[in-house]
Structure 1
Amino acid sequence: MREKVSFTSGGVACAAWYYPGSNGGCVVMTGGFGVTKEPGTDRFAERFSAAGFSVLAFDHRHFGESGGEPRQVARIADQLDDWRAAIAYATTLPDVERVAIWAFSLPGGYIIQLAAEQSGISAAIAQSANVDGPTVTRNASRHQTTAGALRMVGRSILDSLGALVGRPPKLVALSGPPGTVALLNTPDSLDTDKALRPGNQYADWEQTIAARSIFPAAFYRPAKYAPQVRCPLLYVVCDDDQSALSAPTLAAAERTPNSELIRVPGGHYAPFLDAHEQVVETELAFLTRHLLSGKNVPPSAEKLPETAS
């Protein structure tokens, strides 16, 4: 049971799925960088909804069903403003008492910054999060050919210059094998379709991003906000993650007040693949403890599964 809703951010209408809940808790969600709400959130949103939580899963402006021109352009400042607007909108939904935020990959990094600045958030989940753009970019370059890297840099420069004079974006694929011009060429990025659109679902999802979006993402370091986080934050870390890397996230978790951690084997998309049940059950237990504290909840729901650490 979900319904289409929208809210305004920066004068642009952002489209969202709203799953009405019954327990007073609401989870605000988006997909990864360039990933729209359906492939990015459906599997987790459905589980959160089934447990009684309201869910607001939205598309950033310029992507999916949200407005904004030019299309496929991801500006970090704008996307953070979209999050702030979504959180504010969530507090107006019927029977919502407490709000949590959830995202993965680069938007998983947004979670840290937002949790550091938003006093109205009761809990946060950063899943397979990119928390240190420069470190992640250096690692990703190891999986690209020299020719492919030069073509990507050239396209990003040309697109950034074109943006200054209003030219349409030059698009690149979200993922591809080494040698192709893509946002990611890491081995686990090649599992994107398997993880996010099994059975060729979500045929309308355009798996591209503007090349002008890549340089700002490469320098974004949300880990610096970790010591200022104001609410409980669960880090979901994949030990073999080559697209976001586990080491910077583990370091951020150590600097985050009131942090919790679950480590699972596998690459970037392990929470959508083999580790899905372990991760979603841990996230549900975390949400129950921090959004429903003091309510009449089963004692078994007040602890994280033993798989968490």
Structure 2
Amino acid sequence: MKNVHSEVGMQVSVQREKVRFISGGADCAAWHYPGTNGACVIMAGGFAVTKEPGTDPFAKRFHQAGFSVLAFDYRGLGESGGQPRQVVRVSDQLADWQAAIGFAATLPEVDPARIAAWGFSVSGGYVFQVAARNPQLAAAIAQTPNADGVAGARNLMHHQKPLAMLRVTALGILDALGGLVGRPPLLVPLVGPPGTVAMLTTPDALDSDRVLNPGNRYPDWQQAVAARSALRLGFYRPGRDAPKVRCPLLVVVCEQDQSALCEPSVAAAKRAPCAELVRIPGGHYEPFLGGHEQIVDAELSFLQRNLLDADPSPRRRS
């Protein structure tokens, strides 16, 4: 069943419908914005960030420019089905991307040769691997991506107190062991000040609620995650797949990013055969703040050049 949702703001009307697709036996919920130009942008939010706070500001602008958008929740998060809840598993989320790409290609207004992937933060890191695995993609955008989990984990240690770091690690191990015997996840807050038990304690991470959820616009966003979720992400290095990305790739980095370091993403962009790099001053969420117009313009220009102006292959379906 499709649910139609209309929003009026900034003198424009955004029409979108709730759709679902299957991944790993679970229903993944998504917003589908039907476009007019035949191209589609698939979008996902950051670490345990659901589709509305994670994609709305960009999805609306892409749609206004004529693009279809498919913005989805990973299984176990937001409105998607799947158990256990609030657990971030890299392999599952990459599989959700595969399912989303397959589903987007079936949307009636979408040309399968004009599909792009967009992600930010952790999902921005996924984009390197997703694009490398899907040469049929016409383009990909990695916005403030977490390209190197090892470097990111070392950086996070500088913004957390040792005792709190030990407590988070111990909870993660305990949660992982509990998951093996089917116990419910042990949840910890997504962000918190140094010294508290939280996943992220970097200065710009503390801005996440203010930036992504102003005025509690998205009250259903559960800002907590299973403690086990960080264990594997700390060893995940998707930037290593950048040389395998054959489609045009746009990498957006913020020079003072303290949550997803700038330099590993810059290095990944340099290794990709067809990459463009946009650098702006500011922290992790600058593309949602003062840098929003600059980044939206850069991303729209990139999408138009590579999804509309380019001659895609295979040929447009009839």
Q: TM-score range by the shorter chain?
A: over 0.9
Q: Please give the per-residue CA displacement for 1:26-71, whole angstroms capped at 9, x wherever unaligned.
A: 0000100100000000000000000000000000000000001111
Give 2:122's aligned amino acid.
L
**Counterpart selection for 1:107 from 102, 113, 123:** 123
* 2:3 aligned partner: none
Give the one of 37, 45, 48 matched to 1:23.
Answer: 37
**Counterpart position of 2:176:** 160
Contact 2:248 2:274 in 1 (8 A): yes
CA distance in 2, matches of 1:171, 1:194: 21
Q: Which residue is equivalent to 1:173?
A: 189
Q: Within the alignment, does 1:14 sit opposite 2:14 as a pair?
A: no
- Paired position in structure 2 for 1:80: 94
* 1:146 counterpart residue number: 162
The answer to whether structure 1 residue 274 and structure 2 residue 290 are counterparts is: yes
Aligned 8 A contact 1:228 1:256 in 2: yes
Structure 1 residue 130 and structure 2 residue 146: aligned?
Answer: yes
Give the conservation status (yes or no) of the 8 Å contact 2:135–2:245: no
Amino acid at match of 1:32: G
Q: Secondary structure at the match of 1:28?
A: strand
Quote the residue 1:304 is aligned against.
Answer: none
CA contact (8 A) 1:117 1:230 kept: no
Which of 60, 69, 72 is equivalent to 2:74? 60
Return the TM-score normalized by structure 1.
0.94
* 1:74-113 per-position Cα deviation (integer Å, ceiling 9, x unaligned): 1110100000000010001012111000011111111000
Q: Which amino acid in 2 is paired with 1:187?
A: P
Q: Aligned residue for 1:2?
A: 16
Give the C-alpha shift of residue 244 in structure 1: 0.4
Separation in structure 2 between the aligned mates of residue 95 and residue 152 of structure 1, nearest angstrom: 46
State the alpha-carbon separation in 1 of the partners of residues 171 and 183 from structure 2.
Answer: 13
Offset, 1:241: 0.3
> Hey, what does 1:226 align to over in structure 2?
242
Counterpart of 1:284 in structure 2 is 300
Contact 2:46–2:54 (8 Å) recurs in 1: yes
Question: Distance in 1 between the 2:158 and 2:90 partners?
Answer: 25
Residue 294 (structure 1) shift = 4.8
Separation in 2, partners of 1:277, 1:198: 18
> Between Structure 1 and Structure 2, how many residues are aligned?
295
Aligned-partner Cα distance in 1 for 2:244–2:152: 22
In the aligned structure 1, how far is the partner of 2:228 from the partner of 2:159? 21
The 5 Å alignment of 1:169-248 reads: 169-248=185-264
Query: Paired residue for 2:136, among 120, 135, 146?
Result: 120
Q: Could you tell me how far apart the structure 2 residues matched to 1:15 and 1:277 are?
A: 28
2:138 alignment partner, SS class:
strand
Deviation readout 1:182-220 (Å, 9 max, x if unpaired): 111000001101210112210110001101111111110
* 1:89 and 2:103 aligned: yes
1:12 maps to amino acid = A
Q: Which of residues 262, 269, 277 is equivalent to 1:253? A: 269
Provide the rounded CA distance (Å) in 2 between the counterparts of 1:41 and 1:185.
23
